[in-house]
Structures are given as C-alpha cells and as structure tokens.
Amino acid sequence: MVGPEIERLIQLLARLPGLGPRSARRAALKLLERRETLMEPLARAMTDAAARVAPCRLCGNFDTVDPCAICADPRRDPTLLCVVEDVAALWAMERTGSFRGRYIVLGGLLSALDGLGPEDLGIDRLIERAAAPDLAEVILALPATVEGQTTAHYLAERLAGGRAAVFGLAQGVPIGGDLDHLDDGTITAALRARRRV
C-alpha cells in the first residue's frame, strides 16, 4: 500500500541503530513532511560525508583529512597511545578532554563467537606503532566486558617486553554510582582495587 520509494526509505532507515520498523516508518513520514528542511539537507549531508569522510590510515578515526586531525596535531603527546574498540569509543574519550595522546582503533574485539581473530583487528599495525622510539605508554581503553578484557589480555601479552609500558583503565564505582544500583562484579572490582584515603 506504500509505494516502493517510501518502502525502500523505511527499510534503509530501519537499519540504523535505535530505529526499529515502527520508528523507521515514523522517521520516513517526518522526512516526507519536512522535505526541504530535513530530508533534502540530510540526503546532502550523507552524500557529502560519503564523499569526503574516510578512515584515517594511521589510527582508523573518521575524518575528511588523512591522517586525521588528531594524528596530524603536533600538540598531541607522542609518548601516549590509546587503544580503543571503535570510533565511538574514540569519540567518547575525546569528549572527556582528559587524554592528550593519540589513538589506534581496533575495529572490534577478539571474539570466538563472531570468529574475530587477531588478524581481523589490525593488531600487527598496533604492534608496529607500539615499537615507535618515542612511545612511553600504551593505554588499553577497552570495555569491561569478557571480550574487552580477553582482547586486553591478548594485547598486553603481545606488547610485553616492548619499550612502552602497558596500562588498562581503572575499574571501580562510576562517578555518581550508588552501590545499591551497581552489579556485583563492579562492587567486587572496586573492593579489590580499594585505595587508602
């Protein structure tokens, strides 16, 4: 009952994270209702991004320049390298404004279930970067999940014996975290890593 053009629009929108079939339909309607103020600008923004944005060949971040603005920024500390799962994690780190080094994006985590091994994650590229003479620290900013920690362990082993020291993020109670609402694993980790005050 909906024409093929609208059907195709709905199907493609439904593949975006956060949109199911129902909300994709609502999104398609809003786009059709706001053709000039939303649908056409969004189509142009996508065409523009598709033409101009690409992964940085050094770190994997998305940018219109290659190397990306972070890799090319001379004010970045060359002694620090932060390993993240994906560009979303890189952006999350950048939003904090508390890391002034550079990054490497793995593009995934080791996963027996998904059949992802070290060769799929560009780990050779990481090992090569980690051998840079001015590098002092590799920070494994990987998720505190089984796959994240498996990957971190694997990387720590591969990087052991290199010149850079290898770090992981601290685990513990999140800021504003109420013990009653935290999972047991987090509380256990925070207790184990207790600090003298």
Which residues are near a second copy by CB under 8 A?
A: 1-3, 5-6, 8-9, 12-13, 15-19, 23, 25-33, 35, 38-50, 52-53, 62-64, 69-70, 86-88, 91, 94-95
Q: What is the dihedral of CA 66, 88, 37, 16, to 10 degrees?
A: 120
- CB of 36 vs a second copy, minimal distance in Å: 8
Closer to a second copy by CB, 50 or 197: give it: 50
What's the maximum distance between 2 C-alpha atoms anywhere in the chain? 67
- CB of 12 vs a second copy, minimal distance in Å: 4
CA distance 23 to 8: 14
CA distance 72 to 68: 6
Phi/psi at 16 (5° precision)? -75, 140
- Encoded amino acid at 191, one letter: L
Closer to a second copy by CB, 64 or 79: give it: 64
Of the candidates 151, 169, 145, the one whose C-alpha atom is nearest the C-alpha of residue 96 is 169
- CB of 28 vs a second copy, minimal distance in Å: 8
- CB of 1 vs a second copy, minimal distance in Å: 4
Closer to a second copy by CB, 43 or 131: give it: 43
Closer to a second copy by CB, 41 or 117: give it: 41
Question: Taking the mean position of all CA atoms in its chain, how far away is CA 38?
Answer: 28
